[in-house]
A and B are shown apart, each in its own frame.
Chain A
Amino acid sequence: MHPAKSVIIFTTLSGIGFGMLFFIGLGMIVPEGLMAFIWFAIAYLFAVGGLIASTFHLKHPERALGAFTQWKTSWLSREGVLAVITLLVMAAYGAGLVFLGTRFAYLGYAGSLLSVLTVFATSMIYAQLKTVPRWRDFSTPLMFLGYAGAGGSLMTGQVDYALALLALAGLLQLLNWMRGDGALGKSGSDIGTATGLGTAAQVRAFEPPHTGTNYLLKEMVYIVGRKHAGRLRILSLLMGIGLPILLLLAPFGHLLAALAILSHIVGVFASRWLFFAQAEHVVGLYYGKR
């Protein structure tokens, strides 16, 4: 799949933002007044920034309100609805802390739960797609939740949780890669079933329907850069998980914490790039590609 910048930024940043709101809602940090305002501003910057980035992916963003209507069937719609509800609930919780100096605990808990659901809905946009066997796996939502938890705890300075969640996110990432690598082969779809003309060994794509490229190939049969996948995977793990853990284990310092966060975000960007670039869509089978 084509690794569109807008979608990589969207999933990475909003994951971290809702991860932060999760920890804030649980009351792990209970800031008040101006400090509370700053904490919420940072969390919203990530969550909302990510959501805004996602609209750059739309060809007609002026009609985006329509995307809130089909939550009964569409995970993309559910994601939008959940994100807005979460932001509203957490805004009310935040207003209590900032202006009244009061913590409405249940509002916070509700916001935390909604944050988890929002990240889950984001992951399901991809995990629901039967056409991309690499994504359609239980490890996809788990990995998205793992990264959001790791990022959120890191950003809110929950060192113990961050250490555990970073390690967990790393393991879930490995699981997603391991299961994903054989997914297309195990999916049961091949050029034989795609054409109905025989077994995969008997059918060969002889001539494509067009001499140039087209939307399908650009969007769904993206194979550029796959050859660097192995190195990028290692880089992503080192930056996203390894280095932040080392930095957290070192004696605490604001500079080190900032470095850990920066490194983590770069690592997650790399992981998300791979998540798209390495994903094989079954339509590639019609072109004799994967």
Chain B
Amino acid sequence: MTQLPQSTDRKLGLVIDLDTCVGCHACVISCKGWNTENYGSALSDTDAYGPDVSGTFLNRVHSYEVKPETGPAQLIHFPKSCLHCEDAPCVTVCPTGASYKRTADGIVLVNEDACIGCGLCAWACPYGARELDAVAGVMKKCTLCIDRIYNENLPKEDQIPACVRTCPSGARHFGDFADPNSNVSKLTAERGGMDLMPEQGTRPTNKYLPPRPKDCSGEINTLAPMLEPVATDGKGFVGWLDKMLSALPGGNA
């Protein structure tokens, strides 16, 4: 049903740490791998080896240059996937009921057998978190790896979303935002976790931790490499070599 639940028992989601992410795209690949082999139809690629490559991804990493008022510019890597919004506009616009938000855990899913591929839900999402698969013709989106997080057949440490499991820098955290003592709630409170495009009124579950200001001394002298060599009174072999080379034509002795 496309009516949104008043509230959900749990609010599962991700915290993404923009301070820590190094933009390696490992989460993108592990997401594509897991979700191509498991829940629903595969994430297709078209013209994969030709000039017009295109493919479906549920997680993509942008990079932004941010120029603070003072200090040097920063490069921020910015992973983006479905934020499992509480007021998910993608759900209410769906004419078939294929899109829905689960009351138990707040995960937003697509029932691919009911999806007619009209694309309206992707239009309604401000974040570009939904992609209509070119081959399967159904809407694909992040499932928060429901087939991992509840999968008793996996070892405990693998019962988290593939992207979180893979991230080499610990920039991704998975947990229940309804529990104020969960890892994700605490991180959000401590680090000022923020919503993307709050003005769209979607009330995203996923939170982004802002990059910390860089603690650099301020002055970086770009002329440094052109400075005079520091040691002018070399001793031993190096000193001898210096003297010999300087004596050659073109030397500066």
A-side contacts of B95, CB under 8 Å: 66-70, 74, 76-77, 80
- Interface segment out of the listed B125-133, B155-163, B243-251: B125-133
Once the chains are docked, how many angstroms separate the CA of A105 from the CA of B25?
66
Q: What residue in chain B is nearest A69 (Cβ atoms)? A: B97
A-side contacts of B65, CB under 8 Å: 203-204, 206
B200 contacts A by Cβ under 8 Å: yes
Interface size on A, residues (CB 8 A): 59
**Interchain CB contact under 8 A, B200 and A63:** no
Distance in Å from the Cβ of B84 to the closest Cβ of chain A?
17
**Interchain CB contact under 8 A, B96 and A195:** no
**Interchain CB contact under 8 A, B64 and A219:** no
A-side contacts of B123, CB under 8 Å: 1, 129, 131-132, 219-220, 281
Within 8 Å by CB of A282, from B64, B69, B126, B132, lies B126
**Interchain CB contact under 8 A, A73 and B92:** yes
B22 contacts A by Cβ under 8 Å: no
**Interchain CB contact under 8 A, B89 and A130:** yes
Q: Which residues B21-77 have CB closer than 8 A to chain A? A: 25, 28, 52-57, 60-69, 75-76
Scan B71-107; emit 1 where CB is below 8 A from any A CB, else 0: 0000110101000000001011111111000000000
A-side contacts of B132, CB under 8 Å: 59, 215, 219
Q: What residue in chain B is nearest A198 (Cβ atoms)? A: B66
- Interface segment out of the listed A89-97, A139-147, A186-194, A266-274: A186-194
- Report whether over half of chain B's contact residues are helix, strand or loop; otherwise say mixed: loop
Q: Which residues A141-162 have CB closer than 8 A to chain B? A: none
B-side contacts of A209, CB under 8 Å: 25, 28, 57, 60-62, 80
A-side contacts of B120, CB under 8 Å: 74, 76, 125
**Interchain CB contact under 8 A, B2 and A74:** yes
Distance in Å from the Cβ of B121 to the closest Cβ of chain A?
10
**Interchain CB contact under 8 A, B76 and A193:** no
B-side contacts of A60, CB under 8 Å: 115-117, 137-138
B-side contacts of A286, CB under 8 Å: 62, 80, 127-128
Q: Which residues A8-65 have CB closer than 8 A to chain B? A: 57-61, 63-64
A-side contacts of B93, CB under 8 Å: 73-76, 128-129
B3 contacts A by Cβ under 8 Å: yes
Distance in Å from the Cβ of A277 to the closest Cβ of chain B?
15
**Interchain CB contact under 8 A, B118 and A203:** no
B234 contacts A by Cβ under 8 Å: no
B-side contacts of A72, CB under 8 Å: 2-3
Q: Given that A76-B93, A189-B199, A212-B53 are contacting pairs, would A197 and B211 also be in contact in the complex, using a CB cutoff of 8 Å?
A: yes
Once the chains are docked, how many angstroms separate the CA of A75 from the CA of B94?
9
Q: What residue in chain A is nearest B45 (Cβ atoms)? A: A212
Q: Which residues B185-229 have CB closer than 8 A to chain A? A: 194-201, 208, 210-211
Once the chains are docked, how many angstroms separate the CA of A70 from the CA of B128?
23
**Interchain CB contact under 8 A, B119 and A131:** no
Q: What residue in chain B is nearest A285 (Cβ atoms)? A: B197
A-side contacts of B75, CB under 8 Å: 206
A-side contacts of B171, CB under 8 Å: none
B134 contacts A by Cβ under 8 Å: yes
**Interchain CB contact under 8 A, A196 and B122:** no
Distance in Å from the Cβ of A64 to the closest Cβ of chain B?
6
B-side contacts of A129, CB under 8 Å: 89, 93, 123-124
19 residue pairs A–B, Cβ–Cβ below 8 Å: A60-B116, A60-B137, A66-B95, A67-B116, A69-B95, A74-B94, A76-B93, A76-B94, A76-B120, A128-B93, A130-B89, A193-B197, A193-B199, A197-B210, A202-B68, A203-B65, A204-B64, A214-B131, A219-B119
Closest CB pairs A-B (n = 5): A59-B117, A59-B137, A209-B60, A66-B96, A77-B95
